[in-house]
Structure 1
Amino acid sequence: MACADSQVDLEKIPLVALNMSVRKKLGLYLNPKHTVAADWMALAEAMGFNYLEIKNYEVSKNPTCTVLEDWQARTTDTSVGKLLSMLSELDREDIVEDLRPLIDEDVRKYCANLKKKAEPPLQVPEVDSCVPRTPERSGITVDDDPEGVPEMFDAFICYCQSDFTFVHEMIRELEQTDYKLKLCVFDRDVLPGSCVWTITSELIEKRCKRMVVVISDEYLDSDACDFQTKFALSLCPGARSKRLIPVIYKPMTKPFPSILRFLTICDYTRPCTQAWFWTRLAKALSLP
């Protein structure tokens, strides 16, 4: 990717390059409803969201930011250049002109970080020639054999501590029955002493076929759950591989997370479908 200041192809710069300050300023332009100028609803429609999805976004405090996050999560065909093109097609050149200096600065920082990550680390000969005894990120779970094949799982369970009773029930229903699925439950399966974010990323990306997200009011306030969910979504934009399965097991008072609204939910709170709940969930996790 060319990232020289004068040669940046914005069509190749992912939307993640835009920091929160730019996203919030976009909201200042697009969140108010206009009778003449195109607002966030027109942008969401241009992005491919349907009527019901757009109506759901109305409850968001900042619908513009929410739409950008969901657009980024549901498809790989997103970029800074595509966003600017959409704004121009909607006759919002005023936004493009006013925010272009800030956008260019965000892109410059993004490209600088890419270049920095691509540079090899500086090492002295003694360190460079030292061969580690154990491969990186092996020996991270209770049943891992550092000298053998890493332990693999059918699903990573994303949950907060207040929902752990339901996680225990999930273990009984899915592991200790005829389904015989293997779940990755962080508090049970991960050895202490490792970097939480590094190990979590390794497990979600390389060790677990899928991820079950236990949704609750407490989940919405958990930084760890937020990281795990967004990381898993980044691995399967648009949920084309059915990697994420949201589960609701108790009534919620807060709005359902907008970033997961386009996924089919497994709802334990509905009495009419509760009898099928574990069978549906088990079959979804048993898929190749």
Structure 2
Amino acid sequence: MACSYPDHKQDTDQDLESVPLVALNMSVRRKLGLYLNPRQTVAADWMTVAEEMDFTYLEIRNYEAFKDPTKKLLEDWQARSAEVSVGKLLSILTKLERTDIVEDLGPMIDEDVRKYYESLKKKKEEPCLPLQVPEVDSCAPRTPETLGLTTQDDPEGLPEKFDAFICYCKSDFGFVYEMIRELEQTQYKLKLCVFDRDVLPGSCVWTITSELIERRCKRMVVVISDEYLESEDCDFQTKFALSLSPGARNKRLIPVIYKQMKKPFPSILRFLTVCDYTRPCTQAWFWVRLAKALSLP
């Protein structure tokens, strides 16, 4: 699906199917909520949109508890698959005959798409070098990159804060999504920082990660698996977090095992108490224990 809004100002049409939903900033998401949050009798609202996104009846009913269900819906839809795009969202709105939304937000979406492509171009032209590990520099960043990092950041207000940063590799995302359902969408109401869902594209990955772990998140959940042991990103995140909390005095890191492993447990985390989902005898208490650990001050 290509951009086709009135007063379109881009030199060439961009394929919106290739633009991830994370490219849409807070202003667009808030306006979507203004259109979709009120229950409608003659036009499609957020519930109808959720059905088109293949959310189940029980999931949709749970979203009713949120003040801004559209915002939460977009976050979870975005977290479900890397293939969720701006184009798919517009296709759903068009299919549901909400052309009023598409036309009204078209210029704002065009601007977000333009910024998204500019950030990709800048990233390719100015590749950033990773921080040295294990010598981690936790000093304040020298650039304004730490402003507007996440989808809910307000550059003119306070930065978005989280209860926990989730350290995971791509192959374990199915469990991460289950963690989102169990800890964010239940009575615990915790706020997790999931990189692929919450972080805006374009900035240096290492700088963003350091800022989130050190200043934005109270704790870090490390999803341990055989694939985790081979991930350079996970290795950096774990070592950086450990450097901020020697000996884990503040229970900053919480290792989680959710499936059987063929490789040995990482020695760097051997002194920490593990939350083990693979043990049938403790599985019933798994989410309660993890939620309480993340809820500590």
- How does the TM-score come out when normalised to structure 2? 0.52
After TM superposition, give the deviation of residue 220 of structure 1 in Å.
0.1
Matches within 5 A, 1:1-288: 135-288=144-297
After TM superposition, give the deviation of residue 136 of structure 1 in Å.
4.4
User: What's the RMSD between the two structures over aligned residues?
Assistant: 1.7
What's the CA shift string for 1:38-77, capped at 9, x where partnerless?
A: xxxxxxxxxxxxxxxxxxxxxxxxxxxxxxxxxxxxxxxx
3-state DSSP of counterpart to 2:146: coil
After TM superposition, give the deviation of residue 241 of structure 1 in Å.
0.5
3-state DSSP of counterpart to 2:202: coil
After TM superposition, give the deviation of residue 279 of structure 1 in Å.
0.1
What's the CA shift string for 1:76-103, capped at 9, x where partnerless?
A: xxxxxxxxxxxxxxxxxxxxxxxxxxxx
3-state DSSP of counterpart to 1:245: strand
For 2:218 and 2:170, locate their aligned partners in 1 and report how far apart those are by CA, in whole Å.
23
User: Structure 1 residue runs of 4+, over 4 Å off?
Assistant: none
- Contact 2:214/2:244 (CA < 8 Å) preserved in 1? yes
For 1:242 and 1:138, locate their aligned partners in 2 and report how far apart those are by CA, in whole Å.
27
Match of 1:101 in 2: none
3-state DSSP of counterpart to 2:152: coil
Aligned length: 158
3-state DSSP of counterpart to 2:220: strand
Amino acid at match of 2:278: T
For 2:208 and 2:191, locate their aligned partners in 1 and report how far apart those are by CA, in whole Å.
18
Q: Which runs of 5+ in 2 are unaligned?
A: 1-134
3-state DSSP of counterpart to 2:255: strand
For 1:271 and 1:235, locate their aligned partners in 2 and report how far apart those are by CA, in whole Å.
33
Q: Which runs of 5+ in 1 are unaligned?
A: 1-112, 122-131
Amino acid at match of 2:215: K
For 1:277 and 1:138, locate their aligned partners in 2 and report how far apart those are by CA, in whole Å.
35
3-state DSSP of counterpart to 2:238: helix
After TM superposition, give the deviation of residue 138 of structure 1 in Å.
1.1
Amino acid at match of 1:258: S
- How does the TM-score come out when normalised to structure 1? 0.54
Structure 1 or 2, whichever has the larger Rg, is: 1
Match of 1:21 in 2: none
After TM superposition, give the deviation of residue 232 of structure 1 in Å.
0.0
After TM superposition, give the deviation of residue 183 of structure 1 in Å.
0.1
Amino acid at match of 2:154: D
- Contact 2:160/2:216 (CA < 8 Å) preserved in 1? yes
What's the CA shift string for 1:236-283, capped at 9, x where partnerless?
A: 000001000000000000000000000000000000000000000000
Residue identity over aligned pairs, in percent, reads 84
For 2:190 and 2:260, locate their aligned partners in 1 and report how far apart those are by CA, in whole Å.
27
For 2:167 and 2:212, locate their aligned partners in 1 and report how far apart those are by CA, in whole Å.
11
After TM superposition, give the deviation of residue 149 of structure 1 in Å.
0.3
3-state DSSP of counterpart to 1:154: strand
For 2:189 and 2:229, locate their aligned partners in 1 and report how far apart those are by CA, in whole Å.
30
For 2:146 and 2:277, locate their aligned partners in 1 and report how far apart those are by CA, in whole Å.
35
